[in-house]
Structure 1
């Protein structure tokens, strides 16, 4: 099925997450930077998503990451860290889970391109955070292609993370 938000592969991945979350009685939330709400868009394209998807914070600006999600100021003071880092992704996921009150949250923060690369952080670098009652963790992926390609692959991976966490439960 093609929707206004996403192609068939994304829609099917989102539909699987919604089905699994409903069956497991798990509520979901997202904190998105480089994906700009596309993960939430994919999830809410699925009928019945309102049963499990509580909401999202699109925290494109550093100020929003800090004020709304509670990301520590210190992260942005360290050149090796900043918005595209493990602690930022972790704190974004924790912050949206706390703010929205979901059981499971996934965050995305990265460099979609075409510009914006930094030493050690080329275009296509995306950090993902996952927060649940079991704790928080983060990982990094590197995607190739255009800005749209990077964002699409990041959305697909975020949906995969939701799936992996739900089936662990």
Structure 2
């Protein structure tokens, strides 16, 4: 089955399907993907549950946002650390739920906050430097966001180096 057909069947966005069209191999697409959001989405569709590797990858991505957490606010870090321990079988479900509840106001945005904050800073700087050019600010926002997503895509690949496949399909269908 082609990558595009596979992604369509999973319900991928048209942007991801269009991007993947240039690849013949799912592994090659996985290796070159620069969008952690797409990669984690793909994992959830293929596995239909959170695997330990997915949890650790998501935690790694969330850690990139900790630099934006106010000093003294430790709930996001505690939630991430508990999720990591849970993924390794070192924490109970109750501990995981309690840590998540304690950090819910902050940790709910942690996975994408790094991209947002970096993009906002870059877009603001570009807007100040070229106030008359809305295109410059938009470009800076897109570039900063893409950079954060690429950084997180590399993190995802650290934990999930091989493209996920459902147990009933061949490795590179």
Task: Please indicate the TM-score interval, normalised by the length of the shorter structure.
Answer: 0.3 to 0.5
- Structure with a larger share of its residues in helix: 2
Larger radius of gyration between Structure 1 and Structure 2: 2
TM normalised by structure 2 equals 0.32
- Structure with a larger share of its residues in strand: 1
TM normalised by structure 1 equals 0.33
Q: Specify which structure has the bigger relative contact order, considering alpha-carbon pairs within 8 angstroms and separated by 6 or more residues.
A: 2
